[in-house]
A = this chain, B = another copy of it.
Amino acid sequence: MSLSKKPVTGMKDILPGEMRIREYVTGVIRETYEAFGFTSIETPCVENIANLSSRQGGENEKLIFKILRRGEKLKLDEAKTEADLTDSGLRYDLTVPLVRFYAAHTNELPSPFKALQMGNVWRADKPQRGRYRQFMQCDIDILGEPSNLAEIELILATTTTLGKLGFRDFQIRINERRILKAMAAYSGFGPEDYDTVFIILDKMDKIGLDGVAAELTGHGFSRECVERYTELFAGLQDADDTVAAFQSLTDMLNLAGVLDVEVKDNLAEIIDSVRATKSSDFEIVFDPTLVRGMSYYTGTIFEIAMPQFGGSCGGGGRYDGMVGRFTGREVPACGFSIGFERIILLLMENGFQVTSQGAKVAYLIEKGVSGENLRTVIDKAQQERESGACVLVVRMNKNKKFQKEQLATEGYTQFREFYKNPLK
C-alpha cells in the first residue's frame, strides 16, 4: 500500500504558527476559568455507542465516527447492520461524556461541581472551509446548582475570558425555553407543535419576520396563530428600550397565565447581575428569537454573537434533566461552550501574534566543531537556557545569511556563531 501524505478527509494538521496561538489561548482560558473555581477534568475520546445514541445529541448523532469491534466480538459473517459491527464511537461533544462522568463519580466530586473541559470532538460533517471533522471544544459546566448563580458565573467567566483574549463589543444573547414556550402557547400553538414552530423561528436572522410568518403558514398553522405570534416579535423588534420591552412582554405572558413570575424574575436577575458586575466590554440582551438546537435545554439558553464573525461564537444553557437519564436522580446542570476554533480563526485573521517571554537565541555551529569544542558550545547553551532564554543549537548551513533570515522569521533575534577555528 502506498503511503498518504495528507491528513484524513476533513481533518487538519496544525503547524507551529497556529499551535503557538492555540496554546496561548488555552492558557488564558484555563487561567481565567480557574480563577472562577472551575477545575479541569478529562474523559476518553471514545464513548459507548449506547451513550452516543441516546438522543441527547440531536442531529450530531448522525455524524458519529463509529469504531469497529475487535477480535471475537467482530462477527463479520453474521453482521446485518452497522450496530452489529460497533460498540463504541468518537464523542461528538463534551456534554454527554461530562454527564456520564458526573454520574460515575458523583461521590468523589464537590457539590456544586464546576467542570472545565478542553478537548477534541469529532463529527463527520461535510468538509467545508474553516470547518473540520476534528475540532476542539472548550466547555464549562456547573452541576448541582439550581439557582441562577450558575448562569451568572458561567456568563461572567466566559465573557471575562473573551475580554482577556482581546475581544470587544460582542453580545451575549439570552432567552428562556419557558418564555419561548409561553409565547407559543399565548399565540395558540399546541405543545405538540412547539418543536416545529421553534425550528422555523430559529431562521429569523436568515429569513426575517415575514419569512418566518410565511413558513409557519405554509406549514398549515392557522393564520390567527401565526399573526398573533409574529405581532409579539414585531412589538419587541420596534422597542427602543429592550429592558422595558422584556418587562412588558413577560408581564403580559404572566397575566395571560402562561408564564410563572419566577421565570421572568429569574432571567431579569441574571441580566441585571451580569450588567452590574461584568469586567469586559460587551452587552447582554434578551433575545426572544434565540432557540438553540439541542432538545435537552430546559431553562435559560444563551449565545455569544460577534460582529466580526457572522454566526455564533459559542453558547449554552440549562439542561436540568440530563443527569437523571444516567442516574435516575435529577441534578440541576448548566453549561457554556466557547467556539474555540472560531476564536482561533478570528485571532489568526486579525494577525494576532504571541510574543515570546524570554530572548530567542540561535547558536550556529560550523560543521567541523566537535569533541571538547562542541562540549564548550553546548555547555554555554545550557547556561543561557538556565537563565531563561530559548536557545536553538543547530549546525551552520553553507548559506549562513539565508539560514539566519529563516531563523528570524521564527522569532530568533540573537545569533552566536561557533567555528572550528575559534579565531575565525
Contacts and interface: CB of A to CB of B under 8 A. Distances in A.
A152 interface: yes
A277 B382 contact: yes
B4 A34 contact: no
A13 interface: yes
Contacts of A76: 79-82, 85
Contact of A43 (B7, B67, B277, B375): B7
A40 B65 contact: no
A13 B114 CA distance: 16
A46 B279 CA distance: 40
A45 interface: yes
Nearest to A65: B67
A424 B279 CA distance: 30
A395 B44 contact: no
A8 B327 CA distance: 17
Contacts of A134: 44-46
Interface in A1-45: 1-8, 11-16, 19-20, 22-23, 30, 34-37, 39-45
Contacts of A230: none
Interface stretch (A101-109, A185-193, A201-209, A286-294): A101-109
A370 interface: yes
A37 B1 contact: no
Nearest to A268: B371
A41 B67 contact: no
A264 interface: no
Contacts of A153: 393
Interface in A344-398: 358, 362, 365, 367, 370-371, 374-375, 378-379, 382, 385-386, 388-395
A19 B40 CA distance: 6
A272 interface: yes
Given A48-B8, A375-B273, A23 B40 contact: yes
A273 B3 contact: no
A5 B104 contact: yes
Interface of A is mostly: mixed
A225 interface: no
A199 interface: no
Interface string A312-336: 0000000000000111000000000
A36 to B, nearest CB: 7
A124 interface: yes
A362 B145 CA distance: 15
Contacts of A272: 371, 375
A273 B378 CA distance: 8
Contact of A41 (B1, B16, B41): B16
A407 interface: yes
A41 B23 contact: no
Q: Which one of A3, A4, A66, A410 has the highest number of Cβ atoms from chain B below 10 Å of its Cβ? A: A3
Contacts of A160: 382, 385
A67 B198 CA distance: 35
A297 B195 CA distance: 60
Given A273-B375, A279-B382, A46 B8 contact: yes
A252 interface: no
A256 interface: no
Given A37-B392, A42-B13, A124-B70, A326 B53 contact: no
Contacts of A13: 41-44, 101, 104-105
A11 B152 contact: no
Contact of A269 (B42, B374, B389): B374
A251 B374 CA distance: 23
Nearest to A49: B1
Nearest to A136: B42
9 contacts: A4-B51, A13-B44, A15-B105, A45-B134, A67-B68, A149-B395, A269-B370, A276-B375, A277-B382
The 10 nearest A-B residue pairs measured at CB: A37-B392, A11-B44, A16-B39, A14-B42, A19-B40, A5-B104, A1-B50, A66-B68, A276-B375, A277-B379
